[in-house]
Amino acid sequence: MKKIIFSIGLIIAVLIGCKTNSGSSDSKKLVIAFEAKSNSNVSGTATFIEKNGKVTFVAKLAGLKPGIHAIHIHEKSDCSAADGSSAGGHWNPTFKKHGKWGVGEYHKGDIGNFTADAKGNGTITLTTDEWNIGSGDPTKDILGKGLIVHEGTDDFISQPSGDAGARVACSAIIK
Ligand SMILES: [Cu+2]
Ligand SMILES: [Zn+2]
């Protein structure tokens, strides 16, 4: 009888353990680092956390020129070119025009603009259900794409990429 009780206890302990594990697996986290491009001194990190069907994105940059800078998800995770051109154009799996989220047509990669302060530091945060991390759905999965920070500002109008200027930082969105 003692042995049975012990066994039941063990089973319960294992079940609780499994439940805890499955709870933590619904939230996925990816932390990536930027590399400087186009002879810039830009550095920083970006974090993507998926939870309950939404992805929260936070990018923290340093070494920028003070002012407004564009940031987008581009179609490839290849940051090898000195000017970042290897990351390709904007990630646009739904074949829309470039624009601003929530206003007419926009690319899935059109994150927008953020401001770098007088010291050249800037942060941008976004939460969206338009992305996920690793589902394999080509219209939503950000894995295998590239994150690009630009020297200039996205005007949300010029095609195909908002006339945002040189690519000053690049980071591959990979595990
Ligand atoms: Cu871009
Ligand atoms: Zn775009």
Domains and CATH numbers, the chain: 28-173 (2.60.40.200)
What length does the chain have? 175
- The pTM assigned to this predicted structure is 0.85
pLDDT score at 27: 78
Distances from the Cα of 3 to the Cα of 9, 16, 48, 78, angstroms: 10, 20, 47, 58
Residue 160 Cα to ligand 1 middle (Å): 10
Protein residues within 5 Å, CB atom, of ion ligand 2? 90, 98, 107, 110
Asked if residue 47 lies in contact with residue 29, where contact means CB atoms within 8 angstroms, the answer is: yes
Consecutive H or E run containing 108: none
Residue 117 Cα to ligand 2 middle (Å): 24
Asked if residue 86 lies in contact with residue 78, where contact means CB atoms within 8 angstroms, the answer is: yes
pLDDT score at 50: 97
Q: What is the pLDDT along the chain (175 residues), one digit of tens a residue?
A: 455 444 544 444 444 444 444 444 567 999 999 999 999 999 999 999 999 999 999 999 999 999 999 999 999 999 999 999 999 999 999 999 999 999 999 999 999 999 999 999 999 999 999 999 999 999 999 999 999 999 999 999 999 999 999 999 999 999 9
Q: Residue 138: CB partners within 8 Å, gap ≥ 6?
A: 93
Nearest ligand, CA 100: 2
